[in-house]
Amino acid sequence: MEDFEVSRPPFEDAVRRSERASPAGSATQATLNAEALRALAHLDNDFISPRMLCSLWRLGEAALVFLLGGLVWGLRQDGGGWLLPIGTALVGAVIAAAILTAAHAYELAFLRASALRLWRVVAGLGLATLPIAAACDVILPAGANPFPATGWYLASLAVILPARLILGFNLRRWARNGRMERRALIVGGGKNAEALIRGLEMQPGNDIRICGIFDDRGDRRSPPLVAGYPKLGTIAELVEFARRTRIDMLIVTLPLSAEERLLALLKQLWVLPLDIRLAAHAGELKFRPRTYSYVGSLPLIDVVDRPLADWDAIAKRVLDIAAASAAIVLLSPLMAAAAIAVKLDSPGPVIFRQKRHGFNNQAVEIFKFRSLHHAMSDPEARQIVTRNDSRVTRVGAFIRKTSIDELPQLFNVLRGDLSIVGPRPHAIHAKSSRDETFTEIVDGYFGRHKVKPGITGWAQIHGWRGEIDEPEKLVKRFEFDLYYIENWSLLLDLYILAMTPISLFRTKAAY
């Protein structure tokens, strides 16, 4: 599949066009100043994201309503089967969750509000009780004890209301100590940043915590302190800052009229696995409603959404653990045979370890069966393996061609360093056969690190694996990797897994 289209948020196509027209970026790591390092020290405590907590709470309450409904029904004394009570309790739980969701009772601002707002929960659960009680009158035979809807309702309130009071108390406490919020960095200082900060401060129930301001402009045009928040550094330093701690969102305060500067900024920032938003509260241009997201009544323009957030990340991790565990069990005889063959073929360790780029550009140590002579193993990948390379052992040539050398990476998946499916991890110092670094060949190269790397991937099943002896080969891998990141789904992962064994028969570039 060579021709495909990617559906991207507003401005992202323009950013990508800007990348292709500009010189290649640098992989140089920025150095953070003392102010930024002090700010980082206050962001060490990681915690569950607000959006994830709200989803988990909704799921937990629905489960409670279901269990209580089944329990109350089960306490009836006239016997009967379990199919009807289980079905009735399930329907009641779904209706209750739907009503409370429609009443915004699972939004963070509501969950951490005072007890006075809990009347919505009382009313919502009452509305959920009515159709259950009415259905039971129709379904149950004459003379049977009706489903005790009142008991189900009161039992649900008795559990849910105290739990919400405790949660609200803790949410307010977590908000004070900085553990329960969406962490945001502001890009661009001056009056626009001040207007945004003041607007955020006016929003009731605002869950955004501003962690600092970054701007390339000098102090004259961008003051070192804006509305009480310090300027922590340049845009290059922002990228490094966001890789050292959990940041959820970047808010760009530049006006839309500054198109060239805006595109230059987004070109630097889109490689981060974060939500990127444009402040739109002072803009005169109006977009379609679905273009915006809101913090209270404050509009933000959605530019880039982070891939694999919240439930998507959990679903992918569950697939990773299940698939890796099953593969280790099924392939253990093959891995044992490969280990013995490597050990007998040449002296040296069986497992080769190498530092590679992982999620968000962090270094991870990956495992492979050693395929090169130990004295020539080159863990820093200063010299790529070429066809008929004298460094490759006899067994190494076979396990590289068949990708058996990659099987120990299943343990990297269980450790959380890799996914089963994702962009293939490249060595940190890897170069092409023309001695070009990958960042010199592909601008925006680090954008492929917005998700965990994988053992197999979209590029690999389309034949883009093996030696990178031409720049075009890396460019194609990069394009296929971005397609995967921007179109991820569990079905896509399952399709790639199903196609991987077939793709292994294409061994022309594997040596």
Read off the tokens for 208: 């955004």
Q: Which of 17-26, 77-86, 100-109, 468-477 has the highest mean pLDDT?
A: 100-109
User: Who wins on pLDDT, 352 or 259?
Assistant: 352
What are the residues whose beta carbons fall under 8 Å from the beta carbon of 31, sequence distance 6 or more? Answer: 237, 240
For tokens 């390379």, name the residue.
389
Question: What's the whole-number mean pLDDT along residues 30-40?
Answer: 83
Q: In whole angstroms, what is the distance from residue 382 CA to residue 428 CA?
A: 10
Q: Which of 8-12, 46-50, 96-100, 466-470 has the highest mean pLDDT?
A: 96-100
Residue 430 is predicted with a pLDDT of: 74
For tokens 């990476």, name the residue.
409
CA atoms within 13 A on the CB side of 462: 18
Q: In whole angstroms, what is the distance from residue 183 CA to residue 491 CA?
A: 31
Residue 454 is predicted with a pLDDT of: 93
Backbone angles phi, psi at 406, to 5 degrees: -85, -10
What are the residues whose beta carbons fall under 8 Å from the beta carbon of 411, sequence distance 6 or more? Answer: 324, 328, 367
Given a cut of 80, is residue 506 above it in pLDDT? no
Parts of the chain belonging to CATH 3.40.50.720: 12-47+180-304
Q: CA triplet 47, 276, 59: central angle to 5 degrees?
A: 40
Q: 364-401: buried (b, 16+ CB within 10 Å) or exposed (e) per residue? A: bebbbbbbbbeeebbeebeebbeeebeebbebbbbbbb
Going by C-alpha positions, the residue among 427, 421, 203 that lies closest to residue 300 is 203
Residue 329 is predicted with a pLDDT of: 95
pTM beyond 0.85: the answer is no
Which residues pair with residue 456 across a beta bridge? 421
Question: What's the whole-number mean pLDDT along residues 244-255?
Answer: 87
Q: pLDDT of 464-473, one tens digit each?
A: 876 666 778 8
Question: What's the whole-number mean pLDDT along residues 128-153?
Answer: 67
Count of H-run helices and E-run strands, the chain = 17, 12
Cα four-point dihedral sign 63, 67, 70, 73: negative
Cα four-point dihedral sign 193, 199, 202, 203: negative
User: Who wins on pLDDT, 131 or 198?
Assistant: 198
pLDDT bucket at 32, cuts 50 / 70 / 90: confident
CB-based contact 223:47 (threshold 8 Å): no
pLDDT bucket at 22, cuts 50 / 70 / 90: very low
Q: In whole angstroms, what is the distance from residue 129 CA to residue 473 CA?
A: 61
Going by C-alpha positions, the residue among 227, 217, 214 that lies closest to residue 186 is 214
Going by C-alpha positions, the residue among 361, 378, 327, 365 that lies closest to residue 447 is 361
Lowest average pLDDT, out of 140-144, 275-279, 465-469, goes to 140-144
- Sequential DSSP letters for 289-325: GGGEEEETTEEEEEEEPPSS-THHHHHHHHHHHHHHH
Q: Which of 24-28, 226-230, 277-281 has the highest mean pLDDT?
A: 226-230
Read off the tokens for 239: 């990228």
Residue 349 is predicted with a pLDDT of: 92
The total of other beta-carbon atoms located within 10 Å of residue 420's CB is 24
153 burial level (CB within 10 Å; 0-12, 13-18, 19+)? buried
User: Who wins on pLDDT, 145 or 183?
Assistant: 183
User: Who wins on pLDDT, 28 or 232?
Assistant: 232
Q: Give CATH superfamily name and number for 12-47+180-304.
A: NAD(P)-binding Rossmann-like Domain (3.40.50.720)
